[in-house]
């Protein structure tokens, strides 16, 4: 249950990829995840909370993080979840329902795939998670809605079925539209489509749809 009065707020979770990209502004609350907290300090970005086991920073760096934030949630090194998943659970418990993840691409592929699983897990709970870097935006859509995807600079769109087939997939506003197509988990038909409208329309009746917006 959401805390009283907390609805539709945004959290930005910054993880520790060596290829960290951040937008010019972060509108909402910012959380540093493990080494991502140190990167925020280095970039001069204000934030109040750090979450992680901090095994990727030195003791001097850990103390610097502790001095910088109001809340430092230190996790054990040996645990059953990643630092990123623990950070997502932390902000969801506080009532956040729109979450942006940075610093999870461009490094270890296992962390990037784990972020995909997180998006699937939480979209089932009504929580929207976006993974962003300079060239890509990745998110998961739930069935039963007519979704609108805004297109600015990232005009390449790829669609993948997660967990099970996506039934009756329709795409409008793209170079290769679809009308009622059943997209299976092992089907790559929808890789590298291209937006021709500024708002792409997506609808489907069953399954969960991974969307990746990209630019060259």
The per-residue pLDDT for 68 is 95
Residues 44, 122 within the same domain:
yes
Residues 34, 128 within the same domain:
yes
Q: Shortest CA distance to 35 belongs to which of 49, 51, 12?
A: 51
Per the CB < 8 A criterion, the answer to whether 14 and 31 are in contact is yes
Residue 2, domain member (yes or no):
no
Last residue of a domain, one of 93, 110, 133: 133
Per the CB < 8 A criterion, the answer to whether 122 and 100 are in contact is no
pLDDT by 10-residue block (mean), the chain, 216 residues: 54 93 91 96 95 94 96 92 94 94 90 93 96 96 93 93 96 98 98 96 97 94
Non-local CB neighbours of 125 within 8 Å, separated by 6+ positions: 92
Residues 38, 99 within the same domain:
yes
Residue 27, domain member (yes or no):
yes
Domain that holds residue 188: 141-214
The structural domain count of the chain equals: 2
Residues 170, 147 within the same domain:
yes
Element (H, E) at 156: strand 156-172
Residue 5, domain member (yes or no):
no
User: Residue 106 is part of a domain; what is its CATH number?
Assistant: 3.40.50.10240
> Given the structure tokens 């997660």, which residue do they identify?
162
Residues 104, 196 within the same domain:
no
Residues 124, 23 within the same domain:
yes
Residue 87, domain member (yes or no):
yes
d(CA 28, CA 46): 11
Element (H, E) at 197: none
Residues 126, 35 within the same domain:
yes
Cα dihedral sign, 176-181-183-188: negative
Residues 197, 99 within the same domain:
no
Residues 27, 72 within the same domain:
yes
Residues 94, 149 within the same domain:
no
Residues 129, 37 within the same domain:
yes
């Amino acid at each position: 249950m959401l805390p009283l009065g907390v609805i539709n707020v945004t959290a930005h979770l910054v993880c520790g990829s060596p290829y960290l990209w951040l937008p010019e502004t972060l509108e909402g609350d910012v959380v540093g995840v493990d080494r991502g907290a140190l990167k925020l300090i280095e970039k001069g970005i204000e934030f109040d909370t750090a979450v992680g086991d901090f095994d990727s920073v030195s003791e001097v760096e850990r103390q610097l993080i502790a001095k910088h934030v109001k809340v430092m949630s230190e996790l054990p090194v040996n645990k059953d979840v990643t630092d990123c998943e623990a950070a997502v659970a932390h902000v969801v418990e506080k009532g956040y329902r729109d979450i942006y993840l940075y610093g999870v691409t461009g490094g270890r592929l296992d962390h990037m795939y784990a972020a995909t699983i997180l998006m699937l897990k939480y979209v089932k709970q009504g929580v929207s998670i976006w993974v962003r870097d300079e060239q890509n935006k990745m998110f998961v859509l739930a069935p039963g809605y007519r979704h609108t995807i805004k297109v600015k600079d990232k005009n390449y769109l790829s669609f993948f079925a997660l967990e099970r087939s996506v039934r009756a997939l329709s795409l409008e506003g793209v170079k290769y539209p679809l009308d009622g197509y059943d997209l299976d988990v092992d089907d790559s038909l929808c890789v590298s489509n291209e937006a021709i409208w500024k708002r792409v329309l997506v609808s489907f009746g069953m399954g969960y749809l991974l969307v990746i917006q990209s630019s060259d």
